[in-house]
Chain A
């Protein structure tokens, strides 16, 4: 009796373990099958580098270059904003803040991560967009910059907590060695501690990018949704994720449009995969 219970439990656990892998494989296979069907209608080159995204005109044009550039532009903007802010915040939390404030700040940062992205997007539409419109005298505040700022705030919790971990795990004796040579606290931080934590910082940036590039709802709401080649950060753009979210509902199943959205999914998958791989590489190097 006892033995059979053991057996059942063991197999159930095994099954659960395998299930997660099987699901990933199934999803990937489905994505590939649907996505690759597009290439009967168009070729890889005009898909990746075509400048026009008119999936339902006649004949349809499936160029996703504007979408890729839209995603890259918004992501790059977000990282440019989030990384310096994240490093500064992490340094403050880990090295400067008194203990009581440190705890409050850390919970605050975690709370920021807990805000649903749709709420951030909504707040962005009603506050950030009008603000940008007035500051830059734009016809509309719904631009790549608005998306970048919003996403920077979404990526910040990830970035801050990973960098903070990296800083805290820098051995105490580096700090002492530097201070004992007459270095000030700031000299110690930027000459010894940050270089010593550099792997963690790079990993944080990669994971931040991963978070940003996969984000959908807030971006869909706030970037203005114009699938044109972006020439400036003050223009409306559309990202890869937003395209899928906005058009999946109206794409006719089995049409070129439908397949092209899956093909976009493959591109996104490749992006995230590379970013995660890089993050893993940097985190691993830290331990080595």
Chain B
């Protein structure tokens, strides 16, 4: 079977959906961050696939690399926020952090 662009896009879409569901449903803040990683990686697959099948060259891969670096930075900041949340609420359940309602 010839692996075509549609397959890659399907995988990317699956990853994105899984990530979205994870972000939307996980109560654990670390889980939410992991969901974000899935979303980003879903996007990376799209970058790589479109570059390979449509554009050519390596610009898509370079973008994917940037996104990986960005995801690392984001994870660092995200974990720091999780720590701060934990210190404040003594839990990392995202439903507890609802102070913005007030």
A-B interaction: no
A contact set with B: CB distance below 8 Å: none
B contact set with A: CB distance below 8 Å: none
